[in-house]
Amino acid sequence: MELFLFKHQEYERLYNCTNLVIDSIPIEDRRLTIEALINLILGIIYFLVYLPCLYSIWKQHWKNDCYTILLYIGIVDLVGIIISGFLHPILSLQGAVFCSYPTLIYIVGTFVLAFNRCIQIISPSIAKFLFKGMRTYIWLLFCTLYALYCMFFINPVLFSGIYFAWFFYPFVGYREDYGEFVFDQLPSYHDVSVAILSPLIYLIFAIALVIKSKKSIITPNQAPTQYFSISRLEKMVFLQVFSLSLLNTTECLFYIIMQYTTQQKWMTILAEFLWFHIHGFPPIIYLTLNKTIREDCIILFKKLKNINKDPPSNVVNVMVTPFNANS
């Protein structure tokens, strides 16, 4: 964004579409109709399902720091769904590439990069160890500042309908020579760090959970017998965070490969859907594994259903008596 706002001549030099003929690649090769429609339908479903979950999280975040993190993630996810679940498939249905809508795709790409980095750097499970009270807001501020830095000072990712994905290089599929285009290294370092540290953190989390649940049974005249007892709640918490971690780790690995190797369409499609599900799948996990959120959503739907069924209570019956002029 810094290049676009304050160094526009340099932006025009690096992202110039003047000599590029979009239709040199037929629209049939730039449009993936089935994938885009699936993406769009799932985007609508995820967005509608996420809203009541976010309402429940908002109710709970006053009581629990972990829910404050989930609220922050939820807001980021909704923006991510709007981009990856609505704008992305619409651009794909049009067979768009960067040069189709350069300004729009460039600006949206800065938000994509910022929100993607923001959602990957924070995790509700880590909140159990590092987030408490005001520390929660300090970490959220750090994540926000990091996202803003990526938005303004890192080259954005740009949509390409050819591969149904977003790339740092604006002319993917048209020009193989990168010329003077310089790739920022921070996104690569970020993806590698997430791909390595994320599973490592969850491994530590799992080990800590097992150690914490270690118990002993002492019976007369026998040595103490040790066993592990993990509650259903602890299992559900671990399963939630592990599912999200797996999506993040896999997506990062694919994007590392995509940016620096010859693009394979199956890989770019899979990577895009992984990124999309990082934002869209959490409400499914919440409704399946989180009893509090599930019950709040059921109560909310019942209230909405009753509002539609109940007649208005302020109706007044008025009896009109005909006027008789002879009386």
- pLDDT, one tens digit per residue, over 251-283 is 778 877 776 676 788 888 988 898 898 889 889
Domains of the chain: residue spans and CATH: 2-303 (1.20.1070.10)
- pLDDT, one tens digit per residue, over 55-88 is 998 987 777 777 788 888 889 899 999 999 999 9
| Bigger pLDDT: 131 vs 31 | 31
- Give the DSSP letter of residue 82: I
| Bigger pLDDT: 210 vs 157 | 157
Planar angle of CA 130, 204, 207, nearest 5 degrees:
120
Give the contacts of 218 (CB within 8 A, at least 6 positions apart).
224, 225
Is the separation of the CB atoms in 66 and 73 below 8 Å?
A: no
Distances from the Cα of 207 to the Cα of 65, 123, 196, 235, angstroms: 23, 17, 17, 13
Q: Give the mean pLDDT of 87-97.
A: 94
Planar angle of CA 124, 290, 277, nearest 5 degrees:
65
Looking at the predicted structure, is the pLDDT value of residue 227 above 60?
Answer: no
| Separation between Cα atoms, residue 178 and residue 170, nearest integer Å | 10
Q: Please, which pLDDT band fits residue 125 given cuts at 50, 70 and 90?
A: very low
User: What are the structure tokens assigned to 37, written together?
Assistant: 């429609």
| Bigger pLDDT: 214 vs 136 | 136
Mean pLDDT over the full length of the chain: 79
| Separation between Cα atoms, residue 269 and residue 271, nearest integer Å | 5
**pTM (2 d.p.):** 0.79
Closest CA to 160 of 271, 75, 54: 271
